[in-house]
């Protein structure tokens, strides 16, 4: 938390950064109340993004693998497609 705060405070003018992130756009958004642009809020949002993006994807992949292992025919089709794509 302290590290994030330090990073944000030391950033200064970020209008020309090479790699803009969702947080730069949030900071620049005029319709977003200033109270919603705090380090605490951004830290919470980044945790939410991380969880929303990882648990969902992991569950989708795990489910797909289970169904594929139960379905020899479709598993074979997928393996052939992967083989063709990487060779
Ligand atoms: C298989 C993968 C995924 C599934 C099944 C999934 C599913 C969903 C669903 C159903 C919602 C709507 C929840 C609601 O409005 O009640 C949602 C919202 C959201 N998802 Fe995903 N998601 C996936 C991947 C991701 C990834 C990769 C990210 C970000 C890196 C992400 C970020 C978000 C965020 C930020 C919201 C909230 C959007 C809002 O505020 O309206 N999701 N997701």
What distance lies between CA 55 and its chain's CA centroid? 11
The pair phi, psi for residue 67, each rounded to 5°, is -65, -35
- Ligand 1 centroid distance, CA of 53 (Å): 7
pLDDT in tens, 44-70: 999 999 999 999 999 999 999 999 999
Structural domains counted in the chain: 1
Spatial distance between the Cα atoms of 83 and 6, rounded to a whole number of angstroms? 47
Q: Which two tokens stand for residue 11?
A: 């950033």
Mutate to test the pocket of ligand 1, among 55, 56, 62 (most ligand atoms within 8 A of CB): 56
Ligand 1: does its nearest atom lie under 6 Å from the Cβ of 57? yes
pLDDT in tens, 17-45: 888 888 888 888 999 999 999 889 999 99
Ligand 1: does its nearest atom lie under 6 Å from the Cβ of 56? yes
| pTM of the predicted model as reported, rounded to 2 decimal places | 0.72
Spatial distance between the Cα atoms of 48 and 66, rounded to a whole number of angstroms? 27
In which domain, by residue range, is 39 found?
A: 2-86
């Amino acid at each position: 938390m302290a590290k994030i705060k330090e990073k944000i405070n030391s950033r200064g003018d970020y209008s020309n950064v090479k790699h803009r992130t969702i947080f730069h756009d949030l900071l620049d958004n005029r319709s977003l109340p200033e109270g919603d642009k705090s380090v605490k809020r951004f830290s919470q949002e980044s945790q939410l993004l991380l969880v929303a993006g990882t648990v969902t994807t992991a569950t989708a992949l795990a489910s797909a693998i289970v169904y594929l292992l139960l379905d020899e025919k479709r598993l074979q089709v997928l393996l052939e497609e992967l083989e063709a794509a990487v060779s």
